[in-house]
Amino acid sequence: MSLPKVAPNDCPQAPGFGVSLRTLILHEACQTAGGIAPLAKLLGVSTMLLDRWLEGEEEAPPEIYQACIEIVLLHEPQQSR
């Protein structure tokens, strides 16, 4: 089993072909927030739960997707350190 590719700020790359728009939104919000832990904090969820959503193991509730859209649209992207 190979490990998923990870961006410099620890966000996994979105799965390839066939990925849902919702999953892409989560991944974009992760990049914008600067990583899994910052996004989990913004969403008020655990990093473990967020990781399951990012990997497509579970569907996030609609309000999470709405919050992610707002994060992407309203926040300045964090620079990788």
Average pLDDT for residues 73-78, to the nearest whole number? 76
Q: Is the pLDDT of residue 74 over 50?
A: yes
DSSP H helices, the chain, are 21-33, 36-43, 47-54, 62-74
The pLDDT assigned to 8 comes to 53
Backbone angles phi, psi at 44, to 5 degrees: 75, 35
Q: What is the pLDDT of residue 23?
A: 84
Its pTM stands at: 0.76
Residues in CB range of 42: below 8 A, 6 or more apart: 33, 67, 71
Q: At what angle are helices 47-54 and 21-33 packed, to 10 degrees?
A: 130
| Mean pLDDT (whole number) for 35-63 | 93
pLDDT confidence of 77, banded at 50, 70, 90? Answer: low
Own/partner pairs, 57-60, CB within 8 angstroms, 24+ separation: 59/22, 60/22, 60/26
Q: What is the pLDDT of residue 17?
A: 62
